[in-house]
Amino acid sequence: METAGEDGVRSRKQSFPLPQIRTKKEPDGDEDVVGAPSSMVEEDEQPLSPAARLFHSPNINCYIIAVMGCKTKFDAEVIKVGLEMTLVKHPRFSSLMVVEGERSKKMKWVRTKVNVEDHIIIPDLNPNIDSPDQFLEDYLWEITKTPLELSKPLWEFHILNLKTSDAEAVGIFRVHHSMGDGSSLVSLLLACTRKASDPTSLPTVPNKKRAVSETGAGFWSVFLAIWSVIRLIWNTAVDMLLYGATVMILKDSETPIKGTPTQELNTRRFVHRTVSLEDVKLVKNAMNATINDVVLGVTQAGLSQYLDRRYGEKSNEKRPKERKSHVPKNLRVRSTVLVNLRPSAGIQALADMMEKESKTRWGNWIGYIILPFTIGLRDNPVDYIREAKAAIDRKKQSLEAVCAYYLAQLFVRVFGVKISACLTHRILSNATLSFSNVVGPVEEISFFGHKMAYLAPSVYGHPQALTVHYQSYMDKITISVAVDPKAIPDPYRLLDDLEHSLKLIKEAVLKMEKVANGSL
């Protein structure tokens, strides 16, 4: 049955009868073996992992949004056939989330037959829309107001044949976070794409290079190894003490971008900006840093500029001569930085899982660190990169993300979902923002024959007013921000500050290199 709402969006509603279930026992861990051989894949059930159950709690009911800009109009029939051949074969995308028992409320995945048309939404668009970009922003905002229906698998794909400033058409994936972590879901989406230059080949995504330690041999290498272990234990202990303090009493400063305790109940606005990845790499090489160091430094610089303006507008006074910034001193601003703990098997394994039903690990396997941001205007913009690199290098010598992950699993098993969700909610609400950075394909790709212009993933449903996500693609990197408009009513100004900060940092690096070469 199809119904048309006031906004002209078609939605299909249909309840599927639950199939007869053959139980296949799986460990109640956060990783599930999915895509098993066909002899094992019957109508079965699998319990939700602890992390998946957390994402269904009322105060952390999270969704992942992936906005895909394409260079051509979408052919809905081609998209439908493509999804049937790929995504629908993934066990999570062909399973219902079922709750059994009024008291025990056992949550499990139950395989079902999927009608792809029930998951494709095509709005009836006015071809003469005055502001397509504003329409897209409003459309995404409206999406956050309604939950996905539990009568079908928890995903949907919106097709908007709408010409915006940076795409000929826009596709929007919305997936419940219990289906998997953001990194895995983006990788799964990329596994559905192919190189534009070779429709038979999967995209090339750079693998993360691990640093190789060159400590030599003998007494000195043994001493360094022992010292590294001591430092790892000490840093982990300190981080976990701060982690516990954040749960109990340690809150960030109240700033214009800080969320409220009921922030997860508010709607979100999503905006994005594409900047040059080559500029990021230029800074990275000059500072002997990583791309993650650079984008974190750019984020600190952009937030510093944005908060300086907001505080200046609030005071409506001229800046005192003895101060360089309107921003109050000693602000505590921290970000929860998502860390993918899964050894990456690449998108080839996910493509094989959908095509050949091979065994692949799946689930929410993410931890996070609580990273302090240094907020304030700097005389030298390069200092933001130095500070970010120092903070990240310190966190690399800690098992905070791993401990946070296993601690969350332990709390769910011992105290239940309700108490664990409250603790997770306190951690997130006591910090200011969330941050993530995902590496994408290095060449142009197509989504079932539709060449992609950009990919802008994000998330909503958690109690923070600001989420910043970086997604690289070819020679570009897209900055996506999800904001609560009550706290951040001008997200495009924030994007301006982030883009301007990258420009200032790049100019400072070039000037620094000229000085070092003696040409200035």
Catalytically annotated residues = 177
3-state secondary structure of 407: helix
Determine the 3-state secondary structure of 343 from DSSP. Answer: coil
Q: CB–CB of 450/482 below 8 Å? A: no
Position 211, amino acid: A
Question: Do the Cβ atoms of 114 and 94 come closer than 8 Å?
Answer: yes
Single-letter amino acid, residue 253: S
What does the angle CA 182 – CA 183 – CA 186 come to, to the nearest 5 degrees? 80
Amino acid present at 370:
I
Q: Compute CA distances 490 → 303, 317, 485, 486, whole Å.
A: 13, 21, 8, 10
The token pair at 211 is 């640093």
What are the phi and psi torsion angles at 98 (to 5°)? -115, 135
Length of the chain: 520
Query: Helix H segments across 60-205?
Result: 76-85, 132-143, 182-191
Residue 367, phi then psi, degrees to nearest 5 = -115, 180
232 Cα distance to chain centroid: 27
Fill in the amino acid letter for 2: E
Going by DSSP bridges, is the β-strand pair 63-70/10-12 parallel, antiparallel, or unpaired? unpaired
Structure tokens at 385: 């990169």
d(C-alpha 436, C-alpha 366), whole Å: 11
115 burial class (0-12, 13-18, 19+ CB within 10 angstroms)?
middle
